[in-house]
Structure 1
Amino acid sequence: MLDQSTTPADVSIDVRNVSKCYHIYSRPQDRLLQLLLGRKRRFYKEFWALKDVNLTVRRGESVALIGRNGAGKSTLLQVISGVLQPTAGTASITGRIAPLLELGTSFNPEFTGMENIALSASVLGLTEEQIAERRNAIAAFADIGDFIHQPVRTYSSGMQARLAFAVAAHVDAEVLIVDEILSVGDISFTQKCTRFIREFRERGTLLFVSHDTAAVAALCDRAVWLNGGRLIEDGLPKEVTLHYQAWMANPQGQTDPAAYIALKRERDTEAQAAASPVEEPLQGEEAPRPAAPPRRTEAVAAIPSPASRAEVFDFRNDADWTGERGINIVHAAFQDADGNGINLIDGGTEITLVVEMEAVVPVSSPIVGFAIYDRLGQLIFAWDTSRSCEAYSFSAGPGDRFKAEFTFTFPYIAGGRYTMNLAVADGTADNHVQHHWLYHVLEFDVRYSSVANGLIGIPMHRVEIRPLLPA
């Protein structure tokens, strides 16, 4: 619902008292019996996918819907998009909408990718002239090669996702609705989608469904928790996702989430009150002595350092690039402390990244750098030679080959797929020519990791609990 500070002109999505009921039939013949005898008897059970949901999304906001499978997230998106009619309530949207719901729902499986571009773009409101102008750009964004001229029925789910997102990215939408699109496709596609979503947030309204709480925190201003078709909590992503994860991990079982939230807030209030300063006793009064805590035995645990193991894939010679190409990066690989090439890296071990290059023009002050990103395109860590004064003394002539070596302790990284960009320039950090910038040229997969929370782990040598001795 609208608050006092919000006017109707500020609202992109307005959902009021929306409910959606499905009829569940036990047997196929019950549908016919319901049609013939429905006035006398009901042959179905009711399933309420949504129950009295209210949601207001202001223009320019980015809102995530979270909740376990069957919570009603996709149903709510379909109602907002106009794909489904609600059983009760209303849902209105202001501005051109680009819904990315079930992948390929607007595709004709017998049409080619190019033909489906025209079909989907027309459904989303583009004119024939606009489609003709943007067709090649859409095909380039999808980046599925010659498959763009093949029937969509031959596409994988990832290829359909690429095509659907490419169309949505080129229809000048004011409202973008995304349902788990980032869970389909390779890391390069996911990072491309994430970059577009981040740019879109600067000018449009985003409604986003994901089970990935890291993506929710990175891409959204608000998070809305649905469960059993009801809205449980609406607030800051960090707070809502924390409550949702804690509820999902509740050892008492699946308690009612609304009751859980009420209890959690009550306990938080009590904890804050307990932590507030204690009043000093009046002069002459004796301060009450706190009860002695029960004696506890000392507990010490030797905790192994968080560990992770990354499998590094081969250098990609076909990686996308930009730059003047006065210097070319020709290869890159990791080596262990003995100088041997490796494709398995354990967190906490010393390794060397070796980047080999070839000069096409005279080089006087090369700057070589690398950056590692997670699947959402978030920068994990980076370094370049401009941070070291010794690197500026190097020079090379046309045809010379040279290398840069970065020796460092590989961090403990959370599980998932990561990519590395490499770049080489010539000049200073403030004034240089960018010669070769390679995107996603190295990928690595962290399949084992004991990093439970966050992106990077820290070495933990010991954990202990012991009595605090009186002063």
Structure 2
Amino acid sequence: MIKIENLTKSYRTPQGRHYVFKGLNVEIPSGKSVALIGRNGAGKSTLLRMIGGIDRPDSGSITTDKTISWPVGLSGGFQGSLTGRENVKFVARLYAKQEELKEKVAFVEEFAELGKYFDMPIKTYSSGMKSRLGFGLSMAFEFDYYLVDEVTSVGDSSFKQKCAKYFKGLNKKSNFLMVSHSLNSLKEFCDCAIYIGKDNEVNYFEDIEKALEKHKIEQAA
């Protein structure tokens, strides 16, 4: 379970402070993959980043005894002057045991299919190459919850098929917290939903179909 209590998040804007959430309270159940659904700008990705510890709330708390990934495919945290291999080693030292380091690095090298670029600085990579490395890195470690924000596969068709295979395999043994514009993807991978509606009202739906129906009605209004 992930418990969110009295969470407030806001940003300064030229028009004054904009509140994404005010005093949010919601529990994300264990053993279920959860879709975050709502209009554009509702705060879905912001909530996902806070759950992953990448962004911080103004106040309130997010507590869990489960392990939570960084957003799947995230490539913005790579150090540009280091090689792909060096970046992977750095992350592996944080998330893996010493005896697992070689195995993790080898997995990412094979998965990302970067060839000689794996030993070249990240700053020489295209955005697609960074995404491949980021996706491979996400697949190399096991978490109770994986954070998924629009990224399910990158690259050519064969690489996309490989990503889809691993992604579906993860979903069988772990849970997703997922944001996507693809309603079919949400239905495929998620069991239930957190719906962020008008005025940032947040509701938990045990049945994802009901949340998607509410979303369609609100979109049409």
* Matched AA of 1:46: R
- State the Cα distance separating 1:220 from its structure 2 match: 0.7
Counterpart selection for 2:74 from 103, 108, 118: 103
Contact 2:72-2:138 at 8 Å conserved across structures: no
Q: Percent same amino acid among aligned pairs?
A: 32
CA shift in 2, pair 1:142/1:21, >3 Å? same
- Matching of residues 243-254 of structure 1 within 5 Å: 243-250=214-221
Aligned to 2:177: 207
- Matching of residues 117-128 of structure 1 within 5 Å: 117-123=88-94, 125-128=95-98
CA shift in 2, pair 1:234/1:188, >3 Å? farther
Equivalenced residues, count = 220
RMSD of aligned alpha carbons = 2.3
Counterpart selection for 1:150 from 117, 120, 133: 120
Aligned to 2:8: 19
* Matched AA of 1:17: N
TM-score by length of structure 2 reads 0.87
CA shift in 2, pair 1:122/1:45, >3 Å? farther
CA shift in 2, pair 1:197/1:234, >3 Å? same
Q: Does residue 179 of the first structure (1) align with residue 149 of the second (2)? A: yes
Contact 2:73-2:134 at 8 Å conserved across structures: no
Counterpart selection for 2:186 from 216, 220, 239: 216
- State the Cα distance separating 1:129 from its structure 2 match: 2.9
Q: Distance in 1 between matches of 2:93 and 2:40?
A: 32
Q: Distance in 1 between matches of 2:72 and 2:44?
A: 11
Counterpart selection for 2:162 from 178, 187, 192: 192
Aligned to 1:405: none
Q: Distance in 1 between matches of 2:32 and 2:78?
A: 29
Could you say which structure has the higher strand fraction? 1
1:249-302 deviation line (CA, Å, top 9, x unaligned):
33xxxxxxxxxxxxxxxxxxxxxxxxxxxxxxxxxxxxxxxxxxxxxxxxxxxx
- State the Cα distance separating 1:121 from its structure 2 match: 2.6
Contact 1:64-1:222 at 8 Å conserved across structures: yes
Q: Distance in 2 between matches of 1:190 and 1:61?
A: 25
TM-score by length of structure 1 reads 0.43
CA shift in 2, pair 1:222/1:157, >3 Å? farther
Matched position secondary structure for 1:117? helix
Contact 2:73-2:131 at 8 Å conserved across structures: no
Is 213-222 or 199-208 further displaced after alignment?
199-208
* Matched AA of 1:236: D
CA shift in 2, pair 1:213/1:175, >3 Å? same
Matched position secondary structure for 1:181? coil
1:312-364 deviation line (CA, Å, top 9, x unaligned):
xxxxxxxxxxxxxxxxxxxxxxxxxxxxxxxxxxxxxxxxxxxxxxxxxxxxx
Matched position secondary structure for 1:69? coil
Q: What are structure 1's unaligned runs of at least 5 residues?
A: 1-10, 27-43, 251-471
- Matching of residues 408-447 of structure 1 within 5 Å: none
Q: Does residue 230 of the first structure (1) align with residue 201 of the second (2)? A: yes
Higher relative contact order (Cα pairs below 8 Å, separated by 6+ residues)? 2
CA shift in 2, pair 1:184/1:224, >3 Å? farther
Q: Distance in 2 between matches of 1:165 and 1:80?
A: 19
Q: Distance in 1 between matches of 2:72 and 2:19?
A: 20
- State the Cα distance separating 1:233 from its structure 2 match: 5.3
Aligned to 1:47: 18
